[in-house]
Structure 1
Amino acid sequence: MNRISLYWTLQILGWGSIACVNIAFAYLSPRGITEVQVMAFVLLALFYLLSTHFIRYIVKTYDWFKLAIPQLVFQSLLAILAMSFVNVVVEILINIAFDTFNVERDFRVLVILANLFIAFLFYAIWFLLYFLFHFLDNYNNTLKYEAKINQIRLNHLKSQLNPHFIFNALNSVRALVDEDPYKAKSAITRISNILRFSLMMDKKQTIEFEDELNTVKDYLALESIRFEERLQVEYQIEDEAFNYKIPPMMLQTIVENAIKHGISNLVKGGLIEIKCREGLEDDLYIQVKNSGHLIAPPSLKPKATGGHGLSNTVQRLKLIYGEKASFRIFNSGNQFVITEIKIPKQRVTLD
């Protein structure tokens, strides 16, 4: 059951139960209960459901979860008090509409205060449960993310520091030492940049797109030394892409996958093309196109051992963005494979 279904299930069960309890107590009272009074209790419970859903809309729209605790408590108390007064007025209107209103009884100060207190209590309990659920869920997701990012970080460092990578990189540099010392020095700088970036990413959920792209460029520059004319690289990056943040090492992982399973398997090599554009709904679309062909769709399920590949990328996207992000990999004709990721709007704050 997803979060929206769980929310509505709890809403209906919670306020429905309160309506049933009110009806049961009225039924057991000496005066009994009429069908009209049953409808009045049901409508009141429906108002509670709709009013709390409206409060939830306000909370999510104005992002109360990011408020400091004192401000959150203050705004919550104001909202609870305001909705309690509205609830008392609605209760009076329901009684008038169903002809169950008694001026001498229902307009007494003590009765109004009692109704106000009960409404305040119900709304306060709802607020407490709603925020408690949110913070516990958020804490649980944070723990999951930290566990996953640590796993990805370690796996990535394994990949970046494995003997094959270092061997290939150093061999490429060694060949340049006498032939082109300037290029050799540049290659060493790029290796240093990649390793430093890998170590610095730590537990960050997202980083600036430009930082990730610079690391990818360093990596592809190193691979160009190894593959020489067998590797062609093209970039089509819209300026808007630099206003976004993305998960660290995400684009790097996709490009590595394209080199390992695409270019390196082709005798004549091929093309790596990176496209980044902003969608109509302010989502960031990232496409990595590489020469090659998918014989079978790769497994996107988490692996118990080995590799950090595409499955971890999918898991990270889900943990950070939920259902708002998307990932797909597919053949484009018989010569190219495209990996596409959609990142929801999460703008970088520019000074």
Structure 2
Amino acid sequence: MNRIRLYWLLQILGWGSIAFVQILFASLSSTGINQVQVWGFIVLAVFYLLSTHFIRYIIKTYDWFKLSIPQLLLQSVLAMLALSLVNVVVQILINIAFGILNPQNDFQLLVISANLFIAFLFYAMWFLLYFLFHFLDNYNNTLKYEAKINQIRLNHLKSQLNPHFIFNALNSVRALVDEDPDKAKNAITRISNILRFSLMMDKKQTIDFEDELNTVKDYLILESIRFEERLQVEYQIEDEAFNYKIPPMMLQTIVENAIKHGISNLVKGGIIEIKCREGLEDDLYIQVKNSGYLKTPPSLKPKADGGHGLSNTVQRLKLIYGDKARFRIFNSGNQFVITEIKIPKQRVTLEQ
């Protein structure tokens, strides 16, 4: 149902319900109610409907929603007072038109004041519901817009990682083509597996931890071919880790960073140790420890070109998990660098 139909449906149901309640209470009174009075209540409900539709036109035409809160409250109260006064006059005209006017009763100050108060109350209720619906609708649209923008950003970040990874993997194979063709063929097969997986997970926001880990293992096998005995790899993975989902290529990016800035800069090479465990609050802790030393902390802020490494990872964690995820990188003594990520075990903020 579109918004126009919903608006008219609520208008008719709302004012129709008020007319029904007024007729019901009048019929239960000691004097009862006749058919002419019933039509009087119906005509009054129609006036309520038309008058609120008119004020809606004024609100939209003059864009009251852009006013400050004090201005909006002032104009709304003045509008309700004006509508209530007109409503009291219309009630008298309706009574005259239907021949049910009682001058001794209808023109009493107490009766007029009571009708004015009731009309003001009804209009106040309408204003409250109308503005509440408008602000909630706008808030919902804003959330959808932000979710869409975040999804576009995530797709952009993932699209950066794929060609970046392919470039590094091909560099690893290039040196083997002439030196050891068999190893080169094996490496190409690994790359093929990784690319096939990359295409399968391209549209997914998160994937099973096991799938990501298998991709990382393929990648490290490729790097082991290049570094030979200079690269040692150890895994300490708790079984609970396989119950989690993580952003695709996140762990692979961290491992790639460890090799590029750690292992490759050491003449004797070094070790990469991957640990994954479940925390006390059902969080997944991923730790990548590599030989090396950080002379200066790496920048985790978005780069002008979008970034391909750690800044990319930090941005994706922020977009998917908000403040519930954590990323840090630090030295462990003088020989090792540790990169640690905490991922919550929960439904992510965007639809997959």
Report the TM-score when normalising by structure 1.
0.62
CA contact (8 A) 1:146 1:203 kept: no
**What is the CA distance between 1:213 and its match in structure 2?**
1.0
1:161 to 159, 166, 188: 166
Name the CA shift for 1:138/1:286 in 2 (closer, same or farther; >3 Å).
farther
CA contact (8 A) 1:173 1:188 kept: no
Greater mean deviation of Cα atoms: 114-123 or 213-222: 114-123
**What is the CA distance between 1:139 and its match in structure 2?**
2.0
1:257-312: per-residue Cα shift (whole Å, max 9, x none)?
00000000011111111111121221111111111110001011111137501111
**Residue in 2 that maps onto 1:190:** 190
**What is the CA distance between 1:317 and its match in structure 2?**
1.1
2:175 to 171, 177, 192: 171
Aligned counterparts of 1:345 and 1:19: Cα–Cα separation in 2: 48
Aligned counterparts of 2:134 and 2:121: Cα–Cα separation in 1: 20
For 1:302-313, what aligned pairs fall within 5 Å after superposition?
Answer: 302-305=302-305, 307-313=307-313
For 1:77-226, what aligned pairs fall within 5 Å after superposition?
Answer: 115=121, 118-119=124-125, 122-123=128-129, 125-153=131-159, 155-162=160-167, 165-172=169-176, 175-177=179-181, 186-226=186-226
Aligned counterparts of 1:25 and 1:190: Cα–Cα separation in 2: 73
Aligned counterparts of 2:300 and 2:287: Cα–Cα separation in 1: 17
Letter in 1 for 2:252: Q
Aligned counterparts of 2:69 and 2:229: Cα–Cα separation in 1: 67
For 1:1-351, what aligned pairs fall within 5 Å after superposition?
Answer: 115=121, 118-119=124-125, 122-123=128-129, 125-153=131-159, 155-162=160-167, 165-172=169-176, 175-177=179-181, 186-305=186-305, 307-346=307-346
Aligned counterparts of 1:160 and 1:233: Cα–Cα separation in 2: 19
Name the CA shift for 1:339/1:15 in 2 (closer, same or farther; >3 Å).
farther
Greater mean deviation of Cα atoms: 292-301 or 236-245: 236-245
1:9-66: per-residue Cα shift (whole Å, max 9, x none)?
xxxx96997599769999xx9xxxxxxxxxxxxxxxxxxxxxxxxxxxxxxxxxxxxx
CA contact (8 A) 2:294 2:330 kept: yes
Name the CA shift for 1:331/1:143 in 2 (closer, same or farther; >3 Å).
same
| Structure 2 residue matching 1:328: 3-state secondary structure | strand
Name the CA shift for 1:125/1:331 in 2 (closer, same or farther; >3 Å).
same
**What is the CA distance between 1:116 and its match in structure 2?**
7.3
**Residue in 1 that maps onto 2:89:** none
CA contact (8 A) 2:157 2:306 kept: no
Name the CA shift for 1:272/1:111 in 2 (closer, same or farther; >3 Å).
same
Name the CA shift for 1:255/1:21 in 2 (closer, same or farther; >3 Å).
same
CA contact (8 A) 1:329 1:337 kept: yes
1:120-149: per-residue Cα shift (whole Å, max 9, x none)?
752564254234313323322422331343
Name the CA shift for 1:21/1:159 in 2 (closer, same or farther; >3 Å).
closer
Aligned counterparts of 1:118 and 1:25: Cα–Cα separation in 2: 7
Letter in 1 for 2:173: A
| Structure 2 residue matching 1:315: 3-state secondary structure | helix
CA contact (8 A) 1:326 1:341 kept: yes
**What is the CA distance between 1:320 and its match in structure 2?**
1.2
1:175-202: per-residue Cα shift (whole Å, max 9, x none)?
4445xxxx66543321111222333333
Aligned counterparts of 2:316 and 2:330: Cα–Cα separation in 1: 20
Report the TM-score when normalising by structure 2.
0.61
**What is the CA distance between 1:228 and its match in structure 2?**
1.1
Letter in 2 for 1:280: L
Aligned counterparts of 1:300 and 1:274: Cα–Cα separation in 2: 21
Letter in 2 for 1:343: I
Aligned counterparts of 1:286 and 1:250: Cα–Cα separation in 2: 10
The Cα RMSD (Å) is 3.7
Letter in 2 for 1:193: N
| Structure 1: runs of 5 or more not aligned | 1-12, 30-103
Identity %: 65
| Structure 1 residue matching 2:273: 3-state secondary structure | strand
Aligned counterparts of 1:113 and 1:214: Cα–Cα separation in 2: 70
Aligned counterparts of 2:177 and 2:115: Cα–Cα separation in 1: 87
Aligned counterparts of 2:330 and 2:259: Cα–Cα separation in 1: 16
| Structure 2 residue matching 1:196: 3-state secondary structure | helix
Name the CA shift for 1:196/1:126 in 2 (closer, same or farther; >3 Å).
same
Aligned length: 256
Aligned counterparts of 1:236 and 1:330: Cα–Cα separation in 2: 20
| Structure 1 residue matching 2:314: 3-state secondary structure | helix
Higher alpha-carbon Rg: 2
Name the CA shift for 1:15/1:218 in 2 (closer, same or farther; >3 Å).
farther
